[in-house]
Structures are given as C-alpha cells and as structure tokens.
Structure 1
Amino acid sequence: MVDAAPVPGFDPDSYALRPPKSCLPVEDGDVIDLGDRTLTVLHLPGHSPGSIALFDPDEGALFSGDVVYDLREGEELLDAISGANVPDYVDSLTRLSELPISMVYPGHGEPFGRGRLLELIHGYVDSRTRPGTI
C-alpha cells in the first residue's frame, strides 16, 4: 500500500506504532474538546457491544466507525457477527435517525449525506422489525 517513503532512509520493516501515553475510556455523552471542534461520544451497540460514534453537533458531522456505512448493492449492515445484537442495533440506528446529522464519515467507504443515512437506517430497521425477523 505504501508507494513512496515519507522521509529519505525510511525503513518500513522497522516502523512500529507507539502506544499512547495515556488512554481513558469514554462514555456515552462525553465531550471531546479538540480546540476548534467538540465531539460528543455516542455509545451505539448493535454492530458490536462497544461501538461508538463521534458527533459534531455544530457541523452535523457523524464519524460513525462501523455503526453505519454506505452499502453496495446486495450488501447489508453486519449484524450476524460475534458480539452483534439486532435489537440493540435497531435502537442505535433509530437514535441516529433522530439526530441532526448532515454528513456521515464512516470507518470505511465514502462519506454520505443525511438522505442516504436515513435510507440505510430505515432499510435496516424495517427489515429487522417485521414479525419473526429479530
């Protein structure tokens, strides 16, 4: 994946990520102040028990991780993986639908707007809340 060295003499085989000096757990509702932007932590279980997203209420931006992402034809949001819980996922996505989100920046894939977010949420929730589907 790397097609150019960031600095002369860079050796990718000797590169290692250093752990952070400190790391604290976050809780639903915590606010992370970045100076010019604040992000609110949203605990959104379902895809996985500890799923979170970060919401910038001033910009309407959601950094969704794997909670919600755009799908290609034939794909579905993953809820049949270890730790997933469909009723929690329905609740989490419903919660997102009620926030003033204007743009979603997922953990993978391209960003998308509110219209597509609601389309994905309603498609998932409708498919999982019909009798006999949960």
Structure 2
Amino acid sequence: MGADMVDWYARAEVARDVIRISEPHVNELVSANFWWLRGNDRDVVVDAGLGVVALREAIPGLFERDPMVLLTHAHLDHVGGAPEFGDRAAHSAEAGLLAAGVPASLYGAELYDKLGIDAAGEPVPELMIDTLPGPGYDPATYRVEPLTLNRLLGDGDRIDLGGRVLTVLHLPGHTPGSIALLEERTGTLYSGDVVYDSALIDNLPNSDVAAYRRSMEFLADLDVSVVHPGHGHSFDRTRLRQLAQTYLRGRAGVVPSPTRRCPDGT
C-alpha cells in the first residue's frame, strides 16, 4: 500500500480462525462487517464489503487459499468486493439482482434514491465515506459490477470447509434471498442483515414485513452461542431473543403493503 493510501480495512480475530473485517471510514448506513473463516481444507468469506478499495491489494492473504465468498444478500455494502472472488455463492432469489448490477453510489442523495430510502426529514450525508482512500480517487467512479454466481444456495444447504461446516438458513424479509449461516458445532450464527443490534430495515422496495416476522419467530427460538452480524458488534443468544421479540412486538398487528418485486422477478 502506498504511503498516501488510507488503511481502509480494520481486522480483528474474534475466535480461532475467524476474522472480522470492517470499513471504519464508511457511513454507518453502509458500514458492514464481513467475516473470514479458515477451515482445514479451504476458506470462506461471508460478504465482501463496499468494494471501494480492492481486497486483493489491501488484504492479499485473504485470497491465498482461493476462498468462496458467501453473500448474505444483494446490497452494495455486502457485495461490493465480491467480483474479486472466483467462487461466489448466494441464495437463488438474489441471483438476478446480482447479475443485473446492484444499485450503488457513494453520494448520499443518489444512493437513497436508488435504494428507495425515505430519509424522513433526517439529514442525508453528502458522501457515504469520510475520507478518500487515496489521492486522486473519484467517488463518481464507484459502482458494483454485475456478477454471476457459481453456486445457488437454498435453505439447509451445507458448506464444508474441513473441520468447519456452515448450514444455510433462508431468512427472508430484509430481502427475498437473505440468508444466515450457522456453524452448529460452535453455535455461531453469521446473520448478515437479518438481525443486528440496532433498528432493522424492513421498508426497502423488496422488503417483506410478513416474511421478516416469520424469520424473527424462527430466530427467537434458535439455539446459538454467539451472533456475528453484518453490522455492529457481536452478541449472545439472550440478546438475539430480545431483538427478535422486540421486532415482533413492534410489528404486531401491522398489515404489510404488497411486496414490490425485485428486478429478478422475486
């Protein structure tokens, strides 16, 4: 990395062979975690960040064992770096949007418009990053390239890394193809944007409140030891149950509007 380049990614080992990667210079709306898991036979990376800075340049060790990237859903803050990986997987309901190109911008007003976000009178940031990653970087050039998947995931699918097996949980609501990944041996859940310790987003154009409620009912009873989410800090089963129940209470009696369809027809 050049002397004038910003150290864009923060890394922390949160468990044996589990590394959290985050982007501290990104606005909290799209500042996501992604997770590097090392198995005996191969590695996987759960989500891939915004893609503002090339992962191969910033974290070359990430690619030494030809990892598979597992995308929890098709939003820019989780798939921006995915085109760098040769082996890519996501739920089938997200495949069409990924192939078409995920809506993306580093300009706040443009991004809110593309995602269908109502700012509800709150100030919209001019830029979604608080510094440029290097001299001469032009935020207007940022985009998420269309990508095809090597593997379409469904509920109950298993990904074996050797000594570490992840089970796919299809938990729609935030998006039609939102998934979480459960390592049953350790009770570790990689939850993407299905659940994290903050206000959950269920009002995007392809969100579905009724589906989200069913997903939360499932999570409220799920036996886990720790949740590693797509945003914010990790938490335990007690907090997971609290978050699920809070969502269910807050959405009690809500009649969702008809679900708008994704570009892929889901």
* TM-score, normalized by the shorter chain, greater than 0.5: yes
Unaligned runs of 5+ in 2: 9-52, 58-80, 89-149, 257-266
**Residue matched to 1:124:** 247
Q: 1:90 & 1:2 partners in 2: Cα distance?
A: 41
Contact 1:45 1:51 survives alignment (8 Å): yes
Q: 1:43 & 1:68 partners in 2: Cα distance?
A: 13
Contact 2:221 2:241 survives alignment (8 Å): no
Q: 1:21 & 1:53 partners in 2: Cα distance?
A: 18
**Structure 2 counterpart SS, 1:101:** coil
Q: Which amino acid aligns with 2:177?
A: G
**Structure 1 counterpart SS, 2:210:** helix
**Structure 2 counterpart SS, 1:117:** helix
**How far does the alpha carbon of each residue in 1:25-79 deviate from its partner, in whole angstroms, 9 at most, with x for none?**
11100011010111100000001111000001111110000000011xxxx2111
Residue 7 (structure 2) pairs with residue 3 (structure 1): yes
- Map 1:78-117 → 2, pairs under 5 A: 78-117=201-240
Corresponding pairs, count: 122
Q: Give the C-alpha shift of residue 3 in structure 1.
A: 2.5
Q: Which amino acid aligns with 2:186?
A: E
Q: Give the C-alpha shift of residue 2 in structure 1.
A: 3.4
Residue 191 (structure 2) pairs with residue 64 (structure 1): yes
Q: 1:91 & 1:56 partners in 2: Cα distance?
A: 21
- Per the normalisation by structure 1, the TM-score is 0.81
Q: 2:156 & 2:228 partners in 1: Cα distance?
A: 19
**Residue matched to 1:7:** none
**Structure 2 counterpart SS, 1:53:** strand
- Per the normalisation by structure 2, the TM-score is 0.42
Residue 167 (structure 2) pairs with residue 40 (structure 1): yes
Q: 1:21 & 1:51 partners in 2: Cα distance?
A: 19
**Structure 1 counterpart SS, 2:207:** coil
Unaligned runs of 5+ in 1: 5-11
Q: Which amino acid aligns with 2:244?
A: I
Q: Give the C-alpha shift of residue 104 in structure 1.
A: 0.3
Identity of aligned residues (%): 45
Distance of aligned partners of 1:116 and 1:21 in 2 relative to their CA distance in 1, 3 Å threshold? closer
> Which consecutive segments of 4 or more residues in structure 1 shift more than 6 A?
none
The alignment yields a C-alpha RMSD, in angstroms, of: 2.4
